Amino acid sequence: NHATTGFSQSHHYAPHAQPPSQQPWQPWESFHGHAYQPPPLGMQRADPNEVFPRTAMFSVPASGRKKALLIGINYRGTQAELRGCVNDAQNMKDLLMQQGFCNDPTSMVMLIDEGHDQSNYPTRKNILKGMQWLVQGACPGDILFLHFSGHGAQEPDKSGLEADGYNETILPVDYKTAGQISDDEIWGSVVWPLPSGVRLTALMDCCHSGTGLDLPFEFDLHRSQWVEDVNPAHSKGDVIQFSGCEDDQTSADAGGGGLFSQYQAGGAMTQSFIKAFKENPHATYPQFMAAVHRNLRKRGFSQRPVLTASQSFDFNSRVFSFTEGIESNHNHEIGRIKRKHIKKNKWGSGGGMSANVQAVQALLYEGMGTYAAAGGGKVGAMAVGKLGKKFLKNFK
């Protein structure tokens, strides 16, 4: 059900097509979002001027413009409360500023559930608005960054597109009343609109985040090759996602006491990611991913970060950078391909979800009177056994 993808080892660099005139970016306070409109289903031919062969690596000169959306949600005062997600957003902000990102309303927005500024509260409406703000005016050479630290979940996929039968989701602070944000919505908001030559790096530090942006290529570290999704969603931009764990795993919210008291409260993935970059700011992707995995293992975490991408680039030679190394578009056709209809899984039907994950899902939805993220049954009264409600405090 998966297709492996090879790539040329050529290191010839050629100039990218001349970019159009830059569109000015709007500051957050004057930006007006709009209701989410899903992209059209099916495939369409990409503009030939935005397609470049895989037989050579085409470099896109950076424009110097950098923009970031950082989201950290602790869900204070709820049974879903976490401890370190706002810290994660702040720490990522500090790192990005060290890499030349500007801390102004045109270049950086941080949505956190602290303070009294409702315009920067991480509600579903504000998060979707933030995603639209992030890609507004994006032109070839622009560098974008998206970071989410908070709860992730799953919900049944009714379209039959998802290989595991679920849509991966993130939970805004008002998820109980406004609902979750699915990977379909994230892909349609920040991936699909990007032109060729725009780089978006995403760090998703939450449970079930493996394919949280619905990117079509996942790198298999064991086989050292890209694997294409069964029903891939192709686009033109250069989008790379680092996820905190695989789709069927939980991500840890650690530190601030207990076993890892020497660490500030925060997401294990975000902390490991930042540490790996600081240890070697010029690492290749194999070196960088190995360092992230190593940092997690040293602290006793079993979660396995995943790398997915919109373009199947040369993993072994490409250097990870926040601000350089933009890959041109190789996809001649863009949109969603439905090669196989996937039957949706049912709660407890062997879909690969562990008892721990089910317990987390149950606690997230306790008392909501709604369908569980992981199946179809109500979970408000689901017994979680010995794990208890304290279990949730350590997982996203």
As annotated, the active-site residues are 151, 207
CA dihedral 97, 103, 109, 114 (to 10 degrees): 90
Other beta carbons less than 10 A from residue 369's beta carbon = 9
The tokens of 41 are what? 């289903």
Strand partners, 66: 143
Is 68 in contact with 145 (CB distance < 8 Å)? yes
Instruction: Please give the Cα distance from 69 to 176 (Å, whole number).
Output: 23
Tallying the residues shown for the chain, one arrives at 396
The tokens of 291 are what? 């360092």
How do 166-170 and 152-156 pair as beta strands?
antiparallel
Query: Tokens 């991966």 belong to which residue?
Result: 168
The tokens of 174 are what? 């008002």
State the burial class of residue 314 (Cβ atoms within 10 Å of its Cβ: 0-12, 13-18, 19+): middle
Is 88 in contact with 96 (CB distance < 8 Å)? no
